[in-house]
Structure 1
Amino acid sequence: MNIDHFLQSKPPIWMRGDSTFGDIVMSTRIRLARNINGFRFPRAFSEDEALQIDKMVSNALIDGDQKFDMPFSYFSLQDMPSLKRQVLVEKHLISPQLANKTKTGSILVSDDETISIMVNEEDHIRIQSLQPGLQLDKAYQLADEVDRLLERKLSYAFDDSFGYLTSCPTNTGTGLRASVMMHLPALTATNQMGTLMNTMARLGMVVRGIYGEGTEALGNYYQISNQITLGKPEEDIILDLQSVAEQIIQKEIGARRALLEHASIAVSDRLNRSLGVLKYARILSSEEAANCLSNVRLGIDLGLIPTYPDRVLNECMLIMQPGFLQQLAGTTLQANERDVFRATIIREKLNNTTVK
C-alpha cells in the first residue's frame, strides 16, 4: 500500500465503535515490547545497528518465507515529511516518540490498520494491535500471532529470571502493555476522575491522555492501562484490566444516570448547545471541538440529541486534529487558520449528514 492510503480521513476499523460497550470504550490496544539479542538498545545503539535491525524485522515479516496472513506495508520515517508523521501519530499508528526519530525509525502497518509494528522506537520492536470496543482477548491474540512469527525468525533478548529485556525496566517481563481508550464525560463532569486515577494507581493501573504517556486527555477520552509487566503472566494482566474496565463502565453508566436524574434540563441544554456550536461556529479550537464532540456523543447516548452516525463523529474526531487539517488543506496552516478550517470542515460534515 502507498503511504497515502494510511493518511485518509476515513476512520480505521478499530475506530468504528461498533463492538462491545462501544458507547464508552472506543478501542482496545495491546502493545508488546521486544528487543533483538546481540544489539544495544535504541538509547545507545549506532545508526548502523539501527539499519541492521530495521532490515531484519522487515525481512522477517514481509520478505521471509513465512508470511503473516495479513498484508503489511513498510515505511521508513527517514524521508517522510513531518506532516505525514504527525498524521500517523493522530491515527495512533505510531507514537510521538517514534515520529521524532527520523534517522532510525520505521513502521510496518497492516492494510486495515489493526496491526502496526514500530521499529527502533524506545525498543527495537513495538508490536501494536488495535480493536474496536472492549476486545482485549482478540487484540492480544493478533499481537501474539505477529510476535510468534517474528520470534521464529529473530532471536529476542530474553532472560530466564526477568523475561523479555527492554529499554525501560517497567516493561521488562512480559513486555505487555494493555490499554483501553474510554470516553468518560459523565465521570469527568461529576469530578470523579481524580478519585478514579488514585484508585487505578493502587490497583497497578495508570490513566493517560489520548496519545498515551506524557499526553493529556482530549474530549474526555482516557487510556487505562497496566503498569506491572514483571512477575505476572499475560493472561492475568489482561483479566485484571478487563475487570477494571468493566467496573469503570458501570461507574460511567451510573454517573450518566445521575446527571439525567438531578439536572436533566441543564444537561440537555449544555449538550444541545455543543451541537449548535459544531453546526454553526466559524472558529473552533481543537480543545473546544473535542469537548463539543464529546458532549454530542454523550447526548446521543442519553437520547437527548438526534443520532448522528458513529462514523461521522469519529471522522470529525480525526480531521479536527492539526495534522489532518493541514493534510486536507494541502498546505501548512497557522493556528488561527486551522481554527477557521476546523470549524468549516466540521460544520459541513454535520450539516450534510442525515440524522435519525
Structure 2
Amino acid sequence: MSLSDFLQRATSRWMKDGGPEDDIILTSRIRIARNLQGLPFPILQTDTHADEVIRAVQEAVAAEAVAKVGKFEFIRCASLSPLDRQVFVEKHLISPDLAEAEKHGAIALRDDEAISIMVNEEDHLRIQCIMPGLRLEDAWHLASAVDDALEQSLLYAFHEKFGYLTACPTNVGTGIRASVMMHLPGLVLSGNIQRMLTAVSHVGLAVRGMYGEGTESNGSLFQVSNQVTLGETEEEIIGNLSSVVHQLIDHERAARKALLQENREALEDRVCRSFGILAYARRMDSRETLQRLSDVRLGIDLGILKGVSSGILKELMVMTQPAFLQKYFHEELAPGERDIRRAMLVRERLRLDDTEVR
C-alpha cells in the first residue's frame, strides 16, 4: 500500500483537516466523564460489574438515539492486539490506561473518529470529541449530543448538590474536561514560554504534554485544559479556557513576528536545517523528529517553506510514533530499527509535496 493510500485510511479527521486558528491550535477536545448508577467505579469493579457496564453501554450505543449522531463501532479491548491498542493511544482516541485494560475495557468509535467513547477506564464512560483547530464550542455541542443520546438508555450517577459523580474528585460536577493542543514555537524560541505557562496555571488551567497528564512537552506542543469542574457550568468552563487561549494565540503571534523582524536569518536557517535533516536523514529518534517537524511547521506558517502541507506536523507526530510505525511497516521493530524506518517514512511523506524554500 502506498503512503498516500495509507494516510487516507489510517489518519483521523483531526489529523487531516484545518480549522480556526489552525496555525497555532492543532486540536480542540471535550471529554465528559460519566458513571452508571448503582454500580461501583471501575477501580472497585468485579468481572461481573465490568461486563454489566459493557453490555449496558453497547446496547445504548446501538440504540436509535445514538445512531442519529453517527455510525459507531463497538470494540472490546480484548479483541485488539497490544499494538492496535497502542495505535489508538497514539491517535488520541483512547488513554494509556484504557489500553492496559485488556480484560474490562471497550471503546465505541464513530466512523470518522471524531467521537470515541471509552468504557471502564477511570470512569464507566468517558465521551470524547476531538476536532481540528479552535472549535471548543463545536466539540462541546457534539459531545453533549452523544451524552444526551446515551442518557436516554443509561441512568447516570448524579447528586443534586454535587452534580455528576466521578471516580476522581477533580471531575465531580460537570464531569467535563476541555482542552486545546497548541503549537507555541515562537514563545519557546523567544524564551517567554515559562512565563506564559506560569500565568496560565495561576488562572486555574493545567498545562501538560502532547499525551496529557504525566507527559512532558516536546516539539513546542502543549495541551492546555481546565482543572475545575465543580461550581461552574460547561459554558463557563469553555468560555474561560477560550479566553485564555486567545491571549496565548496573541502572544505567540507577537513572538513569531518579533523573531522574523529581529533575527530572520537565524530563524530561516533553523527552519531550513530542520527541513534538510527531515528530507535526508537516515535515522531519527522520535524526540528529534517532533522537534524538526515543529520547526518545519513554523516555517510553513511564516511563509519560509512553500509547497509543504500544513497538516504534516499533525500527520507525522502520530505516524512516527512506535506503534504506528510498526503498523505501517507490518512488522515488529526494535528501537534502532524504528529510528531507521521513521526517517524513511518522513522522507517518503515529504516527497508527496512539491516543496520550495524561499
TM-score, normalising length: structure 1 = 0.95
Counterpart of 2:93 in 1: which secondary structure? coil
1:191 Cα deviation from its structure 2 partner: 2.2
One-letter identity of the residue aligned with 1:279: A
1:193 Cα deviation from its structure 2 partner: 2.1
1:258 Cα deviation from its structure 2 partner: 1.2
Contact persistence 1:9–1:315 (CA under 8 A): no
The share of aligned pairs that are identical, in percent, is 46
Matching of residues 247-258 of structure 1 within 5 Å = 247-258=247-258
- More deviation, 325-334/301-310: 301-310
The aligned residue for residue 68 of structure 1 is: 67
Instruction: Give the direction of change, closer, same or farther, for the CA distance of 1:313–1:225 in structure 2 (3 Å limit).
Output: closer
Counterpart of 2:33 in 1: which secondary structure? strand
One-letter identity of the residue aligned with 1:48: T
Residues 33-65 of structure 1, C-alpha deviations (whole Å, 9 max, x = no match): 000000000111111100100110110111x24
Instruction: Give the direction of change, closer, same or farther, for the CA distance of 1:346–1:211 in structure 2 (3 Å limit).
Output: same
Matching of residues 312-351 of structure 1 within 5 Å = 312-351=312-351
1:9 Cα deviation from its structure 2 partner: 6.3
The aligned residue for residue 156 of structure 1 is: 156
Whole-Å separation in 2 of the counterparts to 1:13 and 1:131: 7
Task: Give the RMSD, CA atoms, in angstroms.
Answer: 1.6
Aligned residues: 351
1:8 Cα deviation from its structure 2 partner: 7.1
Whole-Å separation in 1 of the counterparts to 2:67 and 2:199: 40
1:14 Cα deviation from its structure 2 partner: 1.7
Contact persistence 1:20–1:134 (CA under 8 A): yes
Residues 219-277 of structure 1, C-alpha deviations (whole Å, 9 max, x = no match): 21111000000000111001001101100000100110111111111111011000000
The aligned residue for residue 211 of structure 2 is: 211
Whole-Å separation in 1 of the counterparts to 2:250 and 2:61: 40
The aligned residue for residue 186 of structure 2 is: 186
The aligned residue for residue 267 of structure 1 is: 267
The aligned residue for residue 105 of structure 2 is: 105
Counterpart of 2:67 in 1: which secondary structure? coil
One-letter identity of the residue aligned with 1:259: L
Q: Which runs of 5+ in 1 are unaligned?
A: none
Instruction: Give the direction of change, closer, same or farther, for the CA distance of 1:250–1:275 in structure 2 (3 Å limit).
Output: same
Instruction: Give the direction of change, closer, same or farther, for the CA distance of 1:178–1:152 in structure 2 (3 Å limit).
Output: same
Whole-Å separation in 2 of the counterparts to 1:296 and 1:255: 17
Whole-Å separation in 2 of the counterparts to 1:218 and 1:323: 18
Counterpart of 1:191 in 2: which secondary structure? coil
1:308 Cα deviation from its structure 2 partner: 0.5
Instruction: Give the direction of change, closer, same or farther, for the CA distance of 1:91–1:199 in structure 2 (3 Å limit).
Output: same
Whole-Å separation in 2 of the counterparts to 1:292 and 1:65: 46
Counterpart of 1:38 in 2: which secondary structure? coil
The aligned residue for residue 126 of structure 1 is: 126
Whole-Å separation in 2 of the counterparts to 1:8 and 1:92: 17
Counterpart of 2:181 in 1: which secondary structure? strand
Whole-Å separation in 2 of the counterparts to 1:98 and 1:351: 36
